[in-house]
Amino acid sequence: MAMTHGTDVDAERRAPARRMRSRRPDHRHSAQARAEKNNHPGRFLVPAFVVLGIFFFLPTVYNFVYAFTDWSGFKSEINFVGFDNFQNLASSGTLFSSLRITLVYAVLVAIFQNVFGLALAVLLERDTRLNRFARVCFFIPVVMSALAVGYIFQALLKPEGALNGVVGAVLGTDVTVAWLGSTTWTIVVVALIHAWKWMGLSMLIYLAGLKTMPEDILEAARIDGASTWKAFWAVRFPLLAPAVTFSVATALLGSMNGFDIVQATTEGGPARTTEILNIFIYRTFGQGLFAQATTMSLILFLMVVVLAFPVIRTLRKREEVL
């Protein structure tokens, strides 16, 4: 991902060296290539590519085939049906609503997870004993199963759940807010839960970025009379660009592929307003509508291709400005 680009940058940096090398006599160049070939034989790549080919690329190729068939659990033969699956999904409105929901979910998660992660990293930056303990605590949700996290928050947020119990006790009345029952706001609540689970990872990424920051630059900002707040936004935050790229990309990809937390909190409800693509795929697959599930899987694939690469490129560009 980000790194294909990284190698490009490296290649650019190495370009002058390579130009010098190519001025050498040709036979030396080919001898070097031969040595490279003998010492690092291509056959070492074969097992990795066999596994990737069979278990990753081939099913993806199948996606482009079976999305155009009537493959289902109800009959044994499979026929080509052209764009019927796409048409059905589009005309029922499912296609665009699922796409929109997945996109909204991914963007919300990316924002929440990174804002929380960055805030925690800044708060816990100094290496005190308490801060180290707090970092471990905030990383526990990352280690836990996402399914378990979903159930915890369902128990917290359901109408007769723990949160309403506390609010009710404080107010002295019975409170039965359905925190996961709004057709508008539930997606935000679920995105917050997703962000809660993964904010520890973003925190670590930002901490790593803060630690590797050259100190003389900060010193310069201080001498220039910048306040801590100004110094953070004008100097330190721009320098965090590589960490932002990594953390935002991870959050976006992770939430576009999300399933567990949504399944464990809302199962796509209420009224299918939190039905992200993987929930739809899981549900239709369970109903035996394999071709429809495949079509949505292909749509997820295309969505990631269309969105992830430009996002990563934009974030990388921002890094280069520095």
Tell me: does residue 106 bind another protein (CB under 8 A): no
Q: Which stretch binds another protein (CB under 8 A): 35-43, 82-90, 92-100, 313-321?
A: 35-43
Q: Which stretch binds another protein (CB under 8 A): 86-94, 107-115, 177-185, 300-308?
A: 300-308
Alpha-carbon span 164 to 142, nearest angstrom = 26
Tell me: does residue 66 bind another protein (CB under 8 A): yes
Q: Report the SS3 class of residue 69.
A: strand
Neighbours of 243 (CB within 10 A): 23
Tell me: does residue 290 bind another protein (CB under 8 A): yes
Tell me: does residue 107 bind another protein (CB under 8 A): no
Preceding omega of 159 cis (within 30 degrees of 0): no
Cβ(116)–Cβ(199) below 8 Å: yes
Tell me: does residue 310 bind another protein (CB under 8 A): no
Closer residue to another protein in complex, CB, 184/200: 200
Tell me: does residue 109 bind another protein (CB under 8 A): no
Alpha-carbon span 299 to 286, nearest angstrom = 19
Cβ(163)–Cβ(193) below 8 Å: no
In the list 95, 118, 190, 205, the residue contacting another protein (rule: CB under 8 A) is: 205
Tell me: does residue 68 bind another protein (CB under 8 A): no
Alpha-carbon span 144 to 201, nearest angstrom = 12
DSSP state letters, 234-287: IIIHHHTHHHHHHHHHHHHHHHHT--HHHHHHTTT-STTTT--HHHHHHHHHHT
State the greatest distance between any 2 C-alpha atoms of the chain, in Å, as a whole number. 88
In the list 9, 54, 115, 271, the residue contacting another protein (rule: CB under 8 A) is: 54
Q: Report the SS3 class of residue 288.
A: coil
Closer residue to another protein in complex, CB, 39/184: 39
In the list 84, 103, 272, 301, the residue contacting another protein (rule: CB under 8 A) is: 301
Tell me: does residue 142 bind another protein (CB under 8 A): yes
Q: What six digits make up the tokens of 281?
A: 């795929």
Tell me: does residue 251 bind another protein (CB under 8 A): no
DSSP state letters, 78-127: --B-TTHHHHHHHHTTHHHHHHHHHHHHHHHHHHHHHHHHHHHHHHT-S-
Tell me: does residue 209 bind another protein (CB under 8 A): yes
Closer residue to another protein in complex, CB, 271/302: 302
Q: Read off the amino acid at residue 248.
A: V
Tell me: does residue 76 bind another protein (CB under 8 A): no
Tell me: does residue 271 bind another protein (CB under 8 A): no
- Minimum distance between the CB of residue 290 and another protein, rounded to whole angstroms? 6
Tell me: does residue 16 bind another protein (CB under 8 A): no
Tell me: does residue 80 bind another protein (CB under 8 A): no
Neighbours of 267 (CB within 10 A): 16
| φ, ψ at 216 (rounded to 5°) | -65, -30
Site string for another protein, 171-200 (x = CB under 8 A): -------------------------x----
Closer residue to another protein in complex, CB, 44/74: 44
